[in-house]
Structure 1
Amino acid sequence: MKKHLLSLLAATALLASCSDLKKPEEKDQLSEATADTAVVARDGQTVGEVAANAGAAVENAWDMTKANLADVKLEEIDLPEISVRGDDRYNVYALEEKVLFDTDKAEIKPTATRALSEISSSIARRYRGNEVRILGFADSRGDKDYNRELSAKRAAAVKDWLVKNGQMPADKVSIEPMGEEAPVASNATAAGRQENRRVEIAVLK
Protein backbone atom coordinates (compact mmCIF):
# COMPACT_ATOMS: atom_id res chain seq x y z
CA MET A 1 0.00 0.00 0.00
CA LYS A 2 2.83 2.36 0.90
CA LYS A 3 4.62 1.48 -2.35
CA HIS A 4 1.44 2.19 -4.34
CA LEU A 5 1.06 5.59 -2.64
CA LEU A 6 4.65 6.53 -3.46
CA SER A 7 4.10 5.60 -7.13
CA LEU A 8 0.99 7.75 -7.24
CA LEU A 9 2.84 10.74 -5.77
CA ALA A 10 5.68 10.30 -8.28
CA ALA A 11 3.22 10.27 -11.20
CA THR A 12 1.53 13.43 -9.93
CA ALA A 13 4.88 15.20 -9.66
CA LEU A 14 5.76 14.16 -13.21
CA LEU A 15 2.48 15.53 -14.59
CA ALA A 16 3.02 18.84 -12.79
CA SER A 17 6.48 19.19 -14.25
CA CYS A 18 5.14 18.58 -17.78
CA SER A 19 3.40 21.98 -17.74
CA ASP A 20 6.81 23.62 -17.32
CA LEU A 21 8.60 21.77 -20.11
CA LYS A 22 9.02 24.88 -22.30
CA LYS A 23 12.58 26.05 -22.77
CA PRO A 24 13.54 29.18 -20.82
CA GLU A 25 13.98 31.17 -24.00
CA GLU A 26 10.51 30.16 -25.25
CA LYS A 27 8.93 31.34 -22.01
CA ASP A 28 10.84 34.62 -22.27
CA GLN A 29 9.53 35.13 -25.82
CA LEU A 30 5.96 34.47 -24.71
CA SER A 31 6.18 36.92 -21.84
CA GLU A 32 7.75 39.54 -24.12
CA ALA A 33 5.03 39.13 -26.73
CA THR A 34 2.38 40.06 -24.20
CA ALA A 35 4.09 43.26 -23.07
CA ASP A 36 3.40 46.58 -24.81
CA THR A 37 7.10 47.27 -25.24
CA ALA A 38 7.94 43.73 -26.31
CA VAL A 39 7.20 43.84 -30.03
CA VAL A 40 10.54 44.97 -31.30
CA ALA A 41 11.69 45.77 -34.81
CA ARG A 42 14.97 44.43 -36.14
CA ASP A 43 16.84 47.56 -35.14
CA GLY A 44 15.71 47.26 -31.53
CA GLN A 45 12.91 49.87 -31.65
CA THR A 46 9.46 49.12 -30.31
CA VAL A 47 6.50 49.39 -32.66
CA GLY A 48 5.49 52.63 -30.95
CA GLU A 49 8.92 54.13 -31.56
CA VAL A 50 8.90 53.04 -35.20
CA ALA A 51 5.46 54.64 -35.73
CA ALA A 52 6.52 57.85 -33.99
CA ASN A 53 9.69 58.08 -36.04
CA ALA A 54 7.79 57.41 -39.25
CA GLY A 55 5.34 60.18 -38.41
CA ALA A 56 8.19 62.55 -37.65
CA ALA A 57 9.86 61.64 -40.94
CA VAL A 58 6.69 62.47 -42.91
CA GLU A 59 6.28 65.75 -41.01
CA ASN A 60 9.92 66.69 -41.55
CA ALA A 61 9.54 65.92 -45.24
CA TRP A 62 7.07 68.82 -45.36
CA ASP A 63 9.53 71.35 -43.96
CA MET A 64 9.36 73.82 -46.84
CA THR A 65 11.09 76.65 -44.99
CA LYS A 66 14.31 76.09 -46.91
CA ALA A 67 12.70 75.18 -50.20
CA ASN A 68 14.00 77.18 -53.14
CA LEU A 69 11.00 77.07 -55.43
CA ALA A 70 11.32 78.29 -59.00
CA ASP A 71 8.60 78.81 -61.60
CA VAL A 72 7.68 75.59 -63.38
CA LYS A 73 5.94 75.21 -66.72
CA LEU A 74 3.68 72.17 -67.06
CA GLU A 75 2.08 71.46 -70.42
CA GLU A 76 -1.23 70.43 -68.87
CA ILE A 77 -1.57 73.69 -66.89
CA ASP A 78 -2.71 76.44 -69.24
CA LEU A 79 -4.93 78.64 -67.07
CA PRO A 80 -3.27 81.96 -66.19
CA GLU A 81 -4.77 81.96 -62.69
CA ILE A 82 -2.72 78.88 -61.74
CA SER A 83 0.93 79.36 -60.88
CA VAL A 84 3.29 76.42 -60.41
CA ARG A 85 6.60 76.42 -58.57
CA GLY A 86 8.87 73.58 -57.61
CA ASP A 87 12.23 72.10 -56.73
CA ASP A 88 13.59 68.57 -56.45
CA ARG A 89 11.27 67.72 -53.51
CA TYR A 90 8.04 69.65 -54.06
CA ASN A 91 5.70 70.96 -56.70
CA VAL A 92 3.34 73.71 -55.56
CA TYR A 93 0.20 74.81 -57.40
CA ALA A 94 -1.13 78.19 -56.23
CA LEU A 95 -4.44 79.99 -56.68
CA GLU A 96 -5.39 83.46 -55.47
CA GLU A 97 -8.38 83.90 -53.17
CA LYS A 98 -10.48 85.63 -55.83
CA VAL A 99 -10.35 82.49 -58.00
CA LEU A 100 -11.64 80.23 -55.24
CA PHE A 101 -13.64 82.28 -52.73
CA ASP A 102 -15.65 85.40 -52.14
CA THR A 103 -14.31 87.81 -49.51
CA ASP A 104 -14.40 86.32 -45.99
CA LYS A 105 -16.04 83.14 -47.30
CA ALA A 106 -14.85 79.52 -47.33
CA GLU A 107 -17.28 78.11 -49.91
CA ILE A 108 -15.63 77.34 -53.24
CA LYS A 109 -17.06 79.28 -56.16
CA PRO A 110 -18.61 77.24 -58.99
CA THR A 111 -16.29 79.10 -61.37
CA ALA A 112 -13.25 77.56 -59.60
CA THR A 113 -14.09 74.10 -60.95
CA ARG A 114 -11.96 74.35 -64.08
CA ALA A 115 -8.84 75.47 -62.23
CA LEU A 116 -9.17 72.80 -59.53
CA SER A 117 -9.86 70.16 -62.17
CA GLU A 118 -6.71 71.14 -64.04
CA ILE A 119 -4.63 70.92 -60.87
CA SER A 120 -6.07 67.59 -59.75
CA SER A 121 -5.54 66.10 -63.22
CA SER A 122 -1.93 67.27 -63.23
CA ILE A 123 -1.29 65.73 -59.81
CA ALA A 124 -2.93 62.46 -60.86
CA ARG A 125 -0.87 62.36 -64.03
CA ARG A 126 2.50 63.11 -62.43
CA TYR A 127 2.27 62.21 -58.75
CA ARG A 128 -0.58 59.74 -58.30
CA GLY A 129 -0.57 58.31 -54.79
CA ASN A 130 1.87 60.88 -53.41
CA GLU A 131 1.27 62.97 -50.31
CA VAL A 132 -0.52 66.30 -50.89
CA ARG A 133 -0.71 69.21 -48.46
CA ILE A 134 -3.08 72.15 -48.86
CA LEU A 135 -1.91 75.40 -47.29
CA GLY A 136 -4.29 78.29 -46.65
CA PHE A 137 -2.94 81.85 -46.42
CA ALA A 138 -4.44 85.20 -45.42
CA ASP A 139 -3.32 88.82 -45.40
CA SER A 140 -2.49 90.64 -42.15
CA ARG A 141 -5.67 92.72 -41.85
CA GLY A 142 -8.03 91.99 -38.99
CA ASP A 143 -7.67 89.54 -36.12
CA LYS A 144 -4.79 87.07 -36.38
CA ASP A 145 -6.81 84.15 -34.97
CA TYR A 146 -9.70 84.88 -37.32
CA ASN A 147 -7.34 84.92 -40.31
CA ARG A 148 -5.88 81.57 -39.28
CA GLU A 149 -9.32 80.05 -38.81
CA LEU A 150 -10.48 81.30 -42.19
CA SER A 151 -7.36 79.92 -43.87
CA ALA A 152 -8.03 76.55 -42.20
CA LYS A 153 -11.63 76.48 -43.45
CA ARG A 154 -10.52 77.37 -46.97
CA ALA A 155 -7.82 74.71 -47.02
CA ALA A 156 -10.39 72.17 -45.77
CA ALA A 157 -12.83 73.22 -48.50
CA VAL A 158 -10.20 72.67 -51.18
CA LYS A 159 -9.35 69.28 -49.69
CA ASP A 160 -13.02 68.26 -49.75
CA TRP A 161 -13.29 69.30 -53.39
CA LEU A 162 -10.17 67.36 -54.41
CA VAL A 163 -11.31 64.24 -52.57
CA LYS A 164 -14.87 64.33 -53.90
CA ASN A 165 -14.22 65.60 -57.42
CA GLY A 166 -10.55 64.97 -58.06
CA GLN A 167 -10.59 61.38 -56.79
CA MET A 168 -7.70 62.01 -54.39
CA PRO A 169 -7.48 59.57 -51.43
CA ALA A 170 -8.48 61.49 -48.29
CA ASP A 171 -5.68 59.90 -46.27
CA LYS A 172 -3.12 61.30 -48.70
CA VAL A 173 -4.32 64.90 -48.38
CA SER A 174 -3.59 67.04 -45.32
CA ILE A 175 -4.21 70.71 -44.57
CA GLU A 176 -2.11 73.40 -42.95
CA PRO A 177 -3.64 76.77 -41.99
CA MET A 178 -0.87 79.32 -42.38
CA GLY A 179 -2.94 82.42 -41.68
CA GLU A 180 -0.77 85.54 -41.97
CA GLU A 181 2.48 83.57 -42.13
CA ALA A 182 4.70 83.51 -45.22
CA PRO A 183 3.37 86.50 -47.19
CA VAL A 184 4.54 86.68 -50.80
CA ALA A 185 3.95 90.42 -51.10
CA SER A 186 3.62 93.53 -48.94
CA ASN A 187 0.50 93.78 -46.82
CA ALA A 188 0.77 97.58 -47.06
CA THR A 189 -0.97 97.67 -50.43
CA ALA A 190 -4.27 96.29 -51.71
CA ALA A 191 -2.50 94.46 -54.53
CA GLY A 192 -0.04 92.88 -52.11
CA ARG A 193 -2.77 91.78 -49.73
CA GLN A 194 -4.62 90.17 -52.61
CA GLU A 195 -1.54 88.12 -53.49
CA ASN A 196 -1.20 87.00 -49.89
CA ARG A 197 -4.78 85.71 -49.75
CA ARG A 198 -4.20 82.42 -51.52
CA VAL A 199 -4.30 78.62 -51.36
CA GLU A 200 -1.33 76.48 -52.30
CA ILE A 201 -1.55 72.79 -53.15
CA ALA A 202 1.84 71.20 -52.50
CA VAL A 203 2.85 67.74 -53.67
CA LEU A 204 5.70 65.76 -52.17
CA LYS A 205 7.60 64.21 -55.08
Structure 2
Amino acid sequence: MYRSLSAAAALLGLLSPTQPPPEGGEPVTAPVIDLSGKVLDANGKVLDIGERISNLDESVTDETRGTQRRIIFAADVLFAFDKATLTGKARSRLRQAAESLRKEAAGKEVKIDGYTDAKGSGSYNLELSQRRAQAVRDALGELVPGVTFTVAGHGEADPVAPNALPDGGDNPKGRAKNRRVEISFTR
Protein backbone atom coordinates (compact mmCIF):
# COMPACT_ATOMS: atom_id res chain seq x y z
CA MET A 1 0.00 0.00 0.00
CA TYR A 2 2.81 2.42 0.84
CA ARG A 3 4.39 1.80 -2.54
CA SER A 4 1.28 2.88 -4.48
CA LEU A 5 0.65 5.87 -2.22
CA SER A 6 4.23 7.06 -2.51
CA ALA A 7 4.15 6.62 -6.32
CA ALA A 8 0.93 8.58 -6.57
CA ALA A 9 2.31 11.29 -4.30
CA ALA A 10 5.45 11.50 -6.41
CA LEU A 11 3.45 11.84 -9.59
CA LEU A 12 1.38 14.60 -8.06
CA GLY A 13 4.53 16.41 -7.05
CA LEU A 14 3.96 15.99 -3.34
CA LEU A 15 7.31 14.28 -2.85
CA SER A 16 10.55 15.62 -4.21
CA PRO A 17 12.78 13.17 -6.09
CA THR A 18 15.25 13.20 -3.20
CA GLN A 19 12.75 12.78 -0.38
CA PRO A 20 13.05 9.47 1.44
CA PRO A 21 10.22 7.00 0.89
CA PRO A 22 7.55 6.44 3.54
CA GLU A 23 8.39 3.99 6.28
CA GLY A 24 8.71 0.45 4.92
CA GLY A 25 8.29 1.52 1.30
CA GLU A 26 10.61 1.34 -1.65
CA PRO A 27 12.44 4.40 -2.92
CA VAL A 28 10.39 6.47 -5.33
CA THR A 29 11.82 8.24 -8.31
CA ALA A 30 9.58 11.09 -9.36
CA PRO A 31 9.89 12.78 -12.72
CA VAL A 32 11.35 16.24 -12.61
CA ILE A 33 9.61 18.76 -14.84
CA ASP A 34 11.30 22.04 -15.60
CA LEU A 35 8.65 24.77 -15.55
CA SER A 36 11.06 27.66 -15.71
CA GLY A 37 10.70 28.11 -19.51
CA LYS A 38 8.68 30.80 -21.28
CA VAL A 39 4.91 30.39 -21.00
CA LEU A 40 3.02 31.07 -24.21
CA ASP A 41 -0.64 31.99 -24.41
CA ALA A 42 -2.83 30.05 -26.78
CA ASN A 43 -4.85 32.60 -28.72
CA GLY A 44 -7.32 31.90 -31.43
CA LYS A 45 -10.65 32.88 -32.81
CA VAL A 46 -13.55 30.88 -31.44
CA LEU A 47 -16.04 30.02 -34.14
CA ASP A 48 -19.58 28.83 -33.68
CA ILE A 49 -20.35 25.52 -35.21
CA GLY A 50 -23.06 25.97 -37.76
CA GLU A 51 -25.21 23.71 -39.81
CA ARG A 52 -26.76 24.30 -43.19
CA ILE A 53 -29.40 21.99 -44.60
CA SER A 54 -31.12 22.48 -47.91
CA ASN A 55 -33.28 20.44 -50.22
CA LEU A 56 -31.75 19.13 -53.43
CA ASP A 57 -32.70 22.10 -55.60
CA GLU A 58 -31.69 24.54 -52.81
CA SER A 59 -35.09 26.20 -52.94
CA VAL A 60 -35.33 26.00 -49.14
CA THR A 61 -32.30 26.26 -46.87
CA ASP A 62 -32.22 26.07 -43.08
CA GLU A 63 -29.13 27.50 -41.37
CA THR A 64 -28.23 27.49 -37.69
CA ARG A 65 -25.17 29.21 -36.22
CA GLY A 66 -25.03 29.37 -32.44
CA THR A 67 -28.37 30.75 -31.31
CA GLN A 68 -29.18 32.28 -34.72
CA ARG A 69 -31.54 30.47 -37.08
CA ARG A 70 -32.31 31.46 -40.66
CA ILE A 71 -34.73 29.86 -43.10
CA ILE A 72 -34.14 30.95 -46.69
CA PHE A 73 -36.72 30.49 -49.43
CA ALA A 74 -35.90 30.94 -53.09
CA ALA A 75 -38.39 33.54 -54.31
CA ASP A 76 -39.10 31.37 -57.35
CA VAL A 77 -40.66 28.80 -54.99
CA LEU A 78 -42.86 31.39 -53.29
CA PHE A 79 -43.84 33.73 -56.14
CA ALA A 80 -44.44 33.80 -59.87
CA PHE A 81 -41.97 35.89 -61.87
CA ASP A 82 -42.24 39.60 -61.05
CA LYS A 83 -45.14 39.00 -58.62
CA ALA A 84 -45.62 39.34 -54.86
CA THR A 85 -48.62 37.02 -54.49
CA LEU A 86 -47.82 33.69 -52.82
CA THR A 87 -48.37 30.55 -54.88
CA GLY A 88 -50.22 27.50 -53.54
CA LYS A 89 -46.89 25.68 -53.28
CA ALA A 90 -45.53 28.57 -51.22
CA ARG A 91 -48.23 28.20 -48.59
CA SER A 92 -47.29 24.55 -47.92
CA ARG A 93 -43.60 25.54 -47.60
CA LEU A 94 -44.48 28.39 -45.22
CA ARG A 95 -46.51 25.99 -43.07
CA GLN A 96 -43.29 24.02 -42.54
CA ALA A 97 -41.47 27.21 -41.51
CA ALA A 98 -44.37 28.06 -39.19
CA GLU A 99 -43.81 24.79 -37.31
CA SER A 100 -40.22 25.82 -36.59
CA LEU A 101 -41.32 29.29 -35.53
CA ARG A 102 -43.94 27.90 -33.13
CA LYS A 103 -41.34 25.64 -31.51
CA GLU A 104 -38.38 28.03 -31.39
CA ALA A 105 -39.50 31.64 -31.81
CA ALA A 106 -42.69 31.99 -29.77
CA GLY A 107 -42.68 35.36 -28.03
CA LYS A 108 -39.60 36.54 -29.93
CA GLU A 109 -38.97 38.91 -32.80
CA VAL A 110 -38.67 37.34 -36.23
CA LYS A 111 -37.12 39.21 -39.15
CA ILE A 112 -38.35 38.72 -42.70
CA ASP A 113 -36.04 40.11 -45.38
CA GLY A 114 -36.85 40.16 -49.09
CA TYR A 115 -34.26 40.32 -51.89
CA THR A 116 -34.34 40.46 -55.69
CA ASP A 117 -31.81 40.01 -58.45
CA ALA A 118 -30.25 42.96 -60.28
CA LYS A 119 -32.60 42.96 -63.30
CA GLY A 120 -34.76 46.05 -63.47
CA SER A 121 -34.41 49.37 -61.70
CA GLY A 122 -33.15 49.59 -58.15
CA SER A 123 -36.30 51.38 -56.94
CA TYR A 124 -38.60 48.79 -58.52
CA ASN A 125 -36.59 45.91 -57.05
CA LEU A 126 -36.64 47.51 -53.62
CA GLU A 127 -40.43 47.87 -53.74
CA LEU A 128 -40.92 44.30 -55.06
CA SER A 129 -38.70 42.84 -52.33
CA GLN A 130 -40.69 44.77 -49.70
CA ARG A 131 -44.03 43.49 -51.05
CA ARG A 132 -42.72 39.92 -51.12
CA ALA A 133 -41.43 40.09 -47.55
CA GLN A 134 -44.80 41.54 -46.47
CA ALA A 135 -46.68 38.70 -48.24
CA VAL A 136 -44.61 36.14 -46.31
CA ARG A 137 -45.22 38.08 -43.09
CA ASP A 138 -48.99 38.11 -43.70
CA ALA A 139 -49.07 34.35 -44.31
CA LEU A 140 -46.91 33.55 -41.27
CA GLY A 141 -48.86 35.98 -39.09
CA GLU A 142 -51.95 33.84 -39.64
CA LEU A 143 -50.05 30.62 -38.94
CA VAL A 144 -47.97 31.75 -35.94
CA PRO A 145 -49.82 34.10 -33.60
CA GLY A 146 -47.82 35.61 -30.76
CA VAL A 147 -44.69 36.31 -32.82
CA THR A 148 -43.60 39.85 -33.63
CA PHE A 149 -42.46 40.20 -37.23
CA THR A 150 -40.16 42.87 -38.64
CA VAL A 151 -40.28 43.19 -42.43
CA ALA A 152 -37.68 44.74 -44.73
CA GLY A 153 -37.09 44.78 -48.47
CA HIS A 154 -33.53 45.10 -49.68
CA GLY A 155 -33.95 44.90 -53.45
CA GLU A 156 -30.76 43.79 -55.14
CA ALA A 157 -28.55 44.53 -52.12
CA ASP A 158 -26.56 41.71 -50.48
CA PRO A 159 -26.40 39.25 -53.39
CA VAL A 160 -25.34 35.72 -52.47
CA ALA A 161 -24.21 34.93 -56.03
CA PRO A 162 -23.03 36.98 -59.03
CA ASN A 163 -25.84 38.40 -61.16
CA ALA A 164 -23.49 38.46 -64.16
CA LEU A 165 -20.77 36.20 -65.48
CA PRO A 166 -17.12 37.37 -65.48
CA ASP A 167 -17.45 38.22 -69.20
CA GLY A 168 -20.43 40.49 -68.41
CA GLY A 169 -23.05 38.04 -69.68
CA ASP A 170 -26.22 37.17 -67.79
CA ASN A 171 -25.98 34.62 -64.96
CA PRO A 172 -29.50 33.15 -64.57
CA LYS A 173 -28.43 30.68 -61.86
CA GLY A 174 -26.79 33.43 -59.81
CA ARG A 175 -29.78 35.73 -60.21
CA ALA A 176 -32.11 32.91 -59.09
CA LYS A 177 -30.11 32.51 -55.87
CA ASN A 178 -30.33 36.24 -55.18
CA ARG A 179 -34.14 36.26 -55.42
CA ARG A 180 -34.98 35.09 -51.93
CA VAL A 181 -36.85 35.69 -48.69
CA GLU A 182 -35.02 35.09 -45.41
CA ILE A 183 -36.74 34.42 -42.09
CA SER A 184 -34.36 34.83 -39.15
CA PHE A 185 -34.60 34.76 -35.38
CA THR A 186 -32.69 34.01 -32.20
CA ARG A 187 -33.52 30.61 -30.72
> Following the alignment from structure 1 to structure 2, what is the Cα–Cα distance between the partners of residues 149 and 125?
31
> Following the alignment from structure 1 to structure 2, what is the Cα–Cα distance between the partners of residues 145 and 180?
10
Match of 2:89 among 105, 111, 114: 111
Per the alignment, residue 186 of structure 2 pairs with 204
The question of whether the paired residues in 1 share the 8 Å contact of 2:50 and 2:66 is answered with no
Per the alignment, residue 192 of structure 1 pairs with 174
Deviation of the 1:176 alpha carbon = 1.1
CA RMSD, 1 decimal: 2.5
What is the letter of the counterpart of residue 167 of structure 1? V
Residues 1:95 and 2:76 are matched in the alignment: no
Report Cα offsets for 1:18-63 as digits up to 9, x if no partner. Answer: xxxxxxxxxxxxxxxxxxxxxxxxxxxxxxxxxxxxxxxxxxxxxx
Q: What stretches of structure 1 of length at least 5 have no aligned partner?
A: 1-67
Q: What stretches of structure 2 of length at least 5 have no aligned partner?
A: 1-47, 165-170
TM (normalized to structure 1)? 0.60
> Following the alignment from structure 2 to structure 1, what is the Cα–Cα distance between the partners of residues 114 and 183?
9
> Following the alignment from structure 1 to structure 2, what is the Cα–Cα distance between the partners of residues 145 and 69?
37
Deviation of the 1:175 alpha carbon = 0.4
Match of 1:161 among 124, 139, 163: 139
Alignment of 1:113-152 (within 5 A): 113-152=91-130
Deviating above 2 A after TM superposition, structure 1's stretches of 4 or more consecutive aligned residues are 68-74, 77-81, 167-170
Residues 1:179 and 2:161 are matched in the alignment: no
> Following the alignment from structure 1 to structure 2, what is the Cα–Cα distance between the partners of residues 175 and 72?
23
> How many residues are matched?
135
> Following the alignment from structure 1 to structure 2, what is the Cα–Cα distance between the partners of residues 78 and 168?
31
Residues 1:84 and 2:62 are matched in the alignment: yes
Say if 1:70 and 1:125 are closer, same or farther in 2 by CA, change over 3 A. Answer: same
Deviation of the 1:113 alpha carbon = 1.6
TM (normalized to structure 2)? 0.65
Identity of aligned residues (%): 31
